[in-house]
């Protein structure tokens, strides 16, 4: 064995995921042709903004965000996000955050302030939030919903049987209930959720997730292929074929979703602006 000691770098290189470095490498199968396509860029019309810092208090097996103790919130951030939204002339913005289990409200008030600041500065911009689960943060969801975002997105990420190895800090039924509560509080808010496939789930489990989300009155479902960020992350168990995705999409529509996006490259916030316009049109058509 050879040990290399770096005596040159001013700052020693720290691993991005110290909690994952000792895991054995997880090998994924080679990517099929249908995955090797560049994701489209929708900047200029819609953009995603991350608030409440870039370090997460959780360590989901699929996620490439840093894990650790995040710093204090920036009280001026809501105004800064609103100003950036104005300067970029965005028609639609997605505001998202890491999980903040360290905060008493999980960052809920900060989300709400950001939504209100954007609304005040850019009244024509539609606002989508992609939130953590606020697990064990009583009253947090109500604070966020009261700010009236246009779209409330919270991703289930995977089927319940895979939670322990894929999303260990979360609880499946809590996440479903969170989405259901948003609709109970304010039925005018569109609700949205997504899962990744290729993490070892069975087809019947994906169909069960669809039923659970419809029971929670969720409007919009996204399903995309999981891709492994590094070998220390969960392996891709399987590449789901484009035909299987299109079958998921058809089945989901029969279950009553207003909108469904299911394809290998579907991602929760891609095309968010265009999707919001379609979502609104679908609701209007259904209420006629
Ligand atoms: S809670 Fe969200 S940001 Fe944090 S590790 Fe899990 S997926 Fe990533």
Contact predicate 245/206, CB 8 Å? no
Q: What is the CATH number of the domain that holds 74?
A: 3.20.20.70
Whole-angstrom Cα distance, residue 235 to residue 99? 23
162: tokens are 């895979």
pLDDT, position 82: 97
Q: Residue 185 falls within a domain, yes or no?
A: yes
pLDDT, position 13: 60
pLDDT, position 48: 83
pLDDT, position 45: 64
Centre of ligand 1 from the C-alpha of residue 57, in Å? 8
Instruction: Decide if pLDDT at 39 tops 60.
Output: no
Whole-angstrom Cα distance, residue 94 to residue 107? 16
Whole-angstrom Cα distance, residue 255 to residue 262? 14
pLDDT, position 37: 64
Average pLDDT over residues 194-205: 98
The pocket around ligand 1, CB under 6 angstroms, is made up of 56, 58-60, 63, 65, 98-99, 132
- Mean pLDDT, the chain, integer: 91
pLDDT, position 4: 41
Whole-angstrom Cα distance, residue 157 to residue 222? 10
Centre of ligand 1 from the C-alpha of residue 129, in Å? 15
8: phi then psi, degrees, rounded to nearest 5: -105, -45
Higher pLDDT, 44 or 258: 258
Q: Residue 17 falls within a domain, yes or no?
A: no
pLDDT, position 10: 46
Per residue in 58-114, pLDDT (tens digit) is 999 999 999 999 989 999 999 999 999 999 999 999 999 999 999 999 999 999 999
Instruction: Decide if pLDDT at 40 tops 80.
Output: no
Q: At what angle do helices 172-185 and 203-215 cross, to 10 degrees?
A: 30
Please give the number of the atom of ligand 1 that sits closest to the Cα of 133: 1
Q: Residue 144 falls within a domain, yes or no?
A: yes
16: tokens are 């991005």
pLDDT, position 191: 98
Q: What angle do CA 176, 177, 179 make, to 5 degrees?
A: 70
| Total number of domains in the chain | 1
Per residue in 159-178, pLDDT (tens digit) is 999 999 999 999 999 999 99
Q: Residue 176 falls within a domain, yes or no?
A: yes
Per residue in 10-31, pLDDT (tens digit) is 454 667 788 888 888 999 999 9
- DSSP SS3 for 54: coil
Instruction: Decide if pLDDT at 3 tops 90.
Output: no
- DSSP SS3 for 199: coil
Q: What percent of the chain has pLDDT over 70?
A: 91
pLDDT, position 7: 40
Please give the number of the atom of ligand 1 that sits closest to the Cα of 170: 1
Cβ-proximal residues to 261 (8 Å cutoff; 6+ apart), any chain: 220, 221, 222, 223, 249, 271, 275
The closest residue, in CA terms, to atom 6 on ligand 1 is 60
Q: Residue 106 falls within a domain, yes or no?
A: yes
Cβ-proximal residues to 269 (8 Å cutoff; 6+ apart), any chain: 48, 94, 96, 128, 130, 153
Q: Residue 32 falls within a domain, yes or no?
A: no
From 39, 65, 62, select the one nearest 52 (Cα to Cα).
Answer: 65
64: tokens are 């490439």
Residue 181 domain boundaries: 44-287
Q: Residue 258 falls within a domain, yes or no?
A: yes
Query: What residues pair up with 221 in beta bridges, in sequence order?
Result: 193, 260
Average pLDDT over residues 142-150: 98
Of the listed ranges 153-157, 189-193, 254-258, 272-276, the least confidently predicted one is 272-276
Q: Residue 63 falls within a domain, yes or no?
A: yes
Per residue in 229-263, pLDDT (tens digit) is 999 999 999 999 999 999 999 999 999 999 999 99
Whole-angstrom Cα distance, residue 223 to residue 219? 14
pLDDT band at 2 (very low <50, low <70, confident <90, very high): very low
Please give the number of the atom of ligand 1 that sits closest to the Cα of 67: 5
What is the reported pTM?
A: 0.92
Cβ-proximal residues to 95 (8 Å cutoff; 6+ apart), any chain: 48, 49, 51, 81, 111, 114, 115, 118, 127, 128, 129, 130, 149
- DSSP SS3 for 66: strand
The closest residue, in CA terms, to atom 2 on ligand 1 is 98
Instruction: Decide if pLDDT at 204 tops 50.
Output: yes
């Amino acid at each position: 064995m050879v040990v290399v000691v770096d005596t040159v770098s001013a700052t020693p290189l720290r691993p991005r995921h110290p909690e994952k470095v000792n895991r054995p490498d997880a090998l994924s199968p080679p990517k099929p042709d249908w995955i090797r396509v560049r994701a489209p860029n929708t900047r200029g019309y819609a953009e995603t903004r991350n608030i409440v810092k870039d370090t997460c208090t959780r360590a989901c097996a699929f996620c490439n965000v840093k894990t650790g103790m995040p710093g204090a919130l920036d009280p001026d951030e809501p105004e800064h996000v609103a100003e950036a939204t104005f300067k970029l002339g965005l028609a639609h913005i997605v505001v998202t955050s890491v999980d903040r289990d360290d905060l008493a409200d999980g960052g809920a008030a900060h989300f709400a302030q950001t939504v209100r600041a954007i609304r005040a500065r850019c009244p024509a911009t539609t606002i989508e939030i992609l939130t953590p689960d606020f697990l064990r943060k009583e009253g947090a969801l109500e604070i966020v919903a009261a700010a009236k975002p246009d779209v409330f997105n919270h991703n289930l990420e995977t089927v319940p049987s895979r939670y322990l190895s894929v999303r260990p800090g979360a609880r499946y039924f809590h996440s479903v209930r969170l989405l259901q509560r948003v609709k109970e509080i304010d039925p005018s808010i569109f609700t949205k959720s997504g899962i990744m496939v290729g993490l070892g789930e069975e087809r019947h489990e994906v169909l069960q997730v669809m039923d659970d989300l419809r029971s929670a009155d969720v409007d919009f479902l996204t399903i995309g292929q999981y891709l492994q960020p590094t070998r220390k992350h969960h392996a891709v168990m399987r590449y789901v074929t484009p035909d299987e995705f299109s079958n998921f999409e058809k089945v989901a529509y029969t279950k009553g979703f207003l909108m469904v996006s299911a394809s290998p490259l579907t991602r929760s916030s891609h095309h968010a602006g265009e999707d919001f316009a379609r979502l609104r049109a679908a609701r209007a058509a259904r209420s006629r």
